Amino acid sequence: MKYNFDEVIDRRGTGSVKWDFGDMLKKMGLAERFDQDTLPLFTADMDFAVPPCIVEAMHKTADQRIYGYTMAPDEYYDAIISWFDRRHGWTIKKEEILYCPGTVKAIAMAINTFTEKGNGVIIQRPVYTPFTTSIEENERTVVNNQMLVDESGYYIPNLVEFEELAKDENNKMFILCNPHNPSGRIFKDEDLKELSRICAENGVILVADEIHGDLIRRDQTFKPIATLAESTDHIISLTAINKTFNVAGLHVTNVIITNKKLRKMYQKVLGMQMPTPFTYNALIAAYNEGEEWLEELKEYLDGTIEWVMTFLKENMPKVKFVRPEGTYIFWMDFREYGISHEEIRKRIYIDANVILEGGKMFDPDKGAGFERICLSSPRPMIKEAFERIAKAFSDLN
């Protein structure tokens, strides 16, 4: 490989949320133990160096020596349009793109734009925790369309129930997560088409969080829902380089809205958002020069996932899982051990000193016994984490 993803970079002392703020993580209930030996693998934040093209772009930006108010230039929009056209067959127009400093913020803006207090917002648990908090914090009602599990162990949408929920006039929005977080599932084309159809026919706004769409297994294909839907008039698509190129701290999300009326409404609530010069230059560099790095990253992640699956089969056969089709997230089911959620957590978070994210965060009702790990760190670190966890469960294997 041209790029060394095995390199372990010490992030302590850099203001890293996952490496430097143990007391905060304890207060948030994400960790009970945090010390110099802790391996924090709980958040979707890679421990890999970003592509050299982004580093070079950051240096050039710094060398300008003035960092005043900035707006994204045409090159910013051109880079987005070109990326999605050549990699996903998605034709996007410049006027359809709105910059927002963060995906969670973009979701909150959509909720505030297109729903009113008390309205229902449909989600599909288990799902990314901020979907729930964004709904609740804005005084809307969480409406759960619980995911089903197919014969292969993959999550699939309950379309029958979904249509009934969409017909309820109080339910005004649906937030889709594809590729799915926490399971790594890529929704099938026919399911995406049906979800879109149901929303369109019932006046439900569909917000598609697709920010993991470039991080897929090399034998898989991801299609943005906007390329499959019969009409995109009801669709708000969220894209980002944050996960793909490990620049979450630069806060660069793009909201794609083809419907002019909806776009005008969203823009009014969003207000004027100005990316920093570092933000827009990072995106231009990533989309124009970062593909080779991304392809090698995907190959590396595939290798890590294969290692993890083999390790679990050989050392922790009671842990159930399916190979994630996208993302670097790995969803594990510990329920066959027959111990409590609290005991599972103690063995991992305290005994093994590895911080993950418990399943109840993603599904308060049915998530107990599940754990999510982010495999977005050098493989030696991932191997050490799993060896520690296996040792903590050795008496039960």
CATH number reported for the structural domain that contains residue 346 in this entry: 3.90.1150.10
CATH number of the domain residue 205 falls in: 3.40.640.10
Note whether 233 and 93 are same-domain residues: yes
Q: Are 253 and 241 in contact (CB under 8 A)?
A: no
Domain boundary among 270, 289, 308: 289
pLDDT values of the chain reduced to their tens digit, one per residue, 397 residues:
899 999 999 999 999 999 999 999 999 999 999 999 999 999 999 999 999 999 999 999 999 999 999 999 999 999 999 999 999 999 999 999 999 999 999 999 999 999 999 999 999 999 999 999 999 999 999 999 999 999 999 999 999 999 999 999 999 999 999 999 999 999 999 999 999 999 999 999 999 999 999 999 999 999 999 999 999 999 999 999 999 999 999 999 999 999 999 999 999 999 999 999 999 999 999 999 999 999 999 999 999 999 999 999 999 999 999 999 999 999 999 999 999 999 999 999 999 999 999 999 999 999 999 999 999 999 999 999 999 999 999 999 8
Note whether 375 and 323 are same-domain residues: yes
Domain boundary among 289, 316, 349: 289
Nearest alpha carbon to residue 127 among 323, 373, 369, 359? 359
Total number of domains constituting the chain: 2
Note whether 191 and 99 are same-domain residues: yes
Note whether 270 and 169 are same-domain residues: yes
Nearest alpha carbon to residue 130 among 172, 164, 177? 177
DSSP 39-101: EE--SS---SPPPHHHHHHHHHHHHT---------HHHHHHHHHHHHHHH-----GGGEEEES
Whether 11 is covered by a domain: the verdict is: no
Whether 397 is covered by a domain: the verdict is: no
Which residues constitute the domain of residue 47?
17-51+292-392
Note whether 265 and 120 are same-domain residues: yes
Whether 1 is covered by a domain: the verdict is: no
Note whether 330 and 196 are same-domain residues: no
Domain boundary among 262, 289, 316: 289
Rounded CA-CA distance 185/178 in Å is: 7
Query: Under the phi-then-psi rule, with left for phi > 0, alpha for psi from -120 to 50, and beta for the rest, what region is 344?
Result: alpha
Whether 12 is covered by a domain: the verdict is: no
Q: Which amino acid is at 72?
A: A
Note whether 43 and 118 are same-domain residues: no
